[in-house]
Amino acid sequence: MVTDGGARRLLAVDVGNTNTVLGLYEGSELLRHWRLTSRRDMTSDEIALSVEGLLRAVPGSRPPDDVIVATVVPSLRFPMRQAFRQLFDKDPVFVEPGIKTGMPILYESPSEVGADRIVNAVAAFAKVSGPCIVVDFGTATTFDVVTARGEYAGGVIVPGISISAEALFEKAARLWRVARTAIDGDGNWNEGLLALTRLAELRSAAYADSARRWRTKIENAPGNPFPRNPGLTPDDILPSLQAIVLERRRAVVGDSAVLADILSRLESKNYDHGDAWVLGRLGAGAKDSLWARFRSAGTDEYRVRYLTLLSYFTDPGLIPFLAHVYVAPDSFGLIKRYAIRASDGLLWIGTRESMQALLDARAVARARGIYDAPDLRHADLDFLGSDSSSVISRTGKWLTDWIQELPAAGPAESVGPSHAESKSP
């Protein structure tokens, strides 16, 4: 249909769910192109008026010799046909089953492949003359594969950027409502904390700004900032807001800058639960830096502080180190009652390997009598018994149950809700 003679003109029309794109070719040269909004209720007269006006603006305007249309909007096929028949006194060619594109479709039912994806594949192969993957960022994002022989091998469709963004904003708005309801005392508190955690994970600039404003309002409130929920304190909320702000900062300046900021505030104790939660999510050598600080700490206070921060990391590489701390706290100069932080860390990593490591470490500690001292007892439980109770209350199950249920590697998704509640920022 398109020749290199330079005389024949082709009007190519791509009708998508959001936009309709038109291109006017003379031979292989693109003379002009336009983008219009796709409206499913457009009439043939409206289409004809729009196209006629666009073509008149082309210098040396003359009617195209041919028109070809690829559409994924079935309701516009008839008005498109009528409009071009009215304008040019001929029917346009539609990309549809039966049209000869020169590209074999390796599907049992070739008609299932959208016209937009076929023309994308044909154009890409014509351009590169070899195997390729074609990506089209439209209302939906499509990935299509063309073989070395110029065959359409298939592809996938995923939600487009705009659809994903709309879903993201809608989800974030719902999360704010859940958090606000909990803070006002009308909703579930744990669900409110988890909603704030999810907002932090979104790393949205808009919600980081909202968190900053909310934090300023709380910090500057002359009285109780939560009059509808007087039992709530700023310390219950501020760490979560700090996490939202810091996670957005990670997206802007990177992990290294955020790590340097948090580390600079550790010795002055100018950090909170939200900082610790974000710290545990950082790369950039954060885990190694904290482990080195724990090993070199000169006081009990700093050893406990750094071990507590290490318990926020989910890096499986920490499993043998935390298990060693639990079994031999004395070798690290750690006061024994604080070894429970190592237990927290293994639970937080949340894999079958970390659960097994904690179970094995407990067995070794029991056999060696590491925690038998009377001053380590809590109520009527010894240290390990108290830790057992803590494990069940935080995760909802005992270690052996988790070991049976969890996969051999990867995060413990089923641990998430009950465990995450204890460490939501």
Question: Which region among 102-111, 204-213, 295-304 has the lowest average model confidence (pLDDT)?
Answer: 102-111
pLDDT of residue 414: 36
245-284 confidence digits (pLDDT tens): 999 999 999 999 999 999 999 888 899 999 999 999 998 7
Q: Is the pLDDT of residue 47 over 90?
A: yes
- In Å, the largest CA–CA distance within the chain is 99
pLDDT of residue 413: 41
| Mean pLDDT estimate for the chain | 85
Q: Is the pLDDT of residue 408 over 80?
A: no
Q: Please state, in angstroms and rounded to a whole number, the distance separating the CA atoms of residues 209 and 189.
A: 23
How many residues appear in the chain? Answer: 425
Q: Give long-range contacts, CB 8 A cutoff, 24+ apart: 290-298.
A: 291/318, 291/321, 293/266, 294/332, 295/332, 297/333
Stretch 325-338: mean pLDDT = 91
Stretch 153-159: mean pLDDT = 84
411-425 confidence digits (pLDDT tens): 444 343 333 344 666
pLDDT of residue 422: 47
One of 41, 66, 91, 116 is an active-site residue; which one?
A: 116
- Other residues' Cβ atoms within 10 Å of the Cβ of residue 361: 24
Give helix then strand counts, H and E, for the chain. Answer: 17, 8
Q: Please state, in angstroms and rounded to a whole number, the distance separating the CA atoms of residues 339 and 323.
A: 10
What is the fold of 1-94? Nucleotidyltransferase; domain 5 (3.30.420)
Contact by Cβ (8 Å): 212, 245: yes
Q: Give the highest mean pLDDT range of 5-9, 294-298, 384-388.
A: 294-298
pLDDT of residue 417: 30
pLDDT of residue 412: 41
pLDDT of residue 425: 67
Residue 116 appears among annotated catalytic residues:
yes
CA 105 centroid distance within chain: 34
Q: Which residue has the higher pLDDT, 404 or 188?
A: 404
Q: Is the pLDDT of residue 8 over 70?
A: yes
- pTM higher than 0.85: no
SS3 call for 159: strand
pLDDT of residue 169: 62
**What are the residue boundaries of the structural domains of the chain, listed by start?**
1-94, 254-425
Nearest one of 280, 286, 288 to 247, comparing CA atoms: 280
User: pLDDT confidence of 4, banded at 50, 70, 90?
Assistant: very low
Q: Please state, in angstroms and rounded to a whole number, the distance separating the CA atoms of residues 162 and 39.
A: 17
pLDDT of residue 145: 93
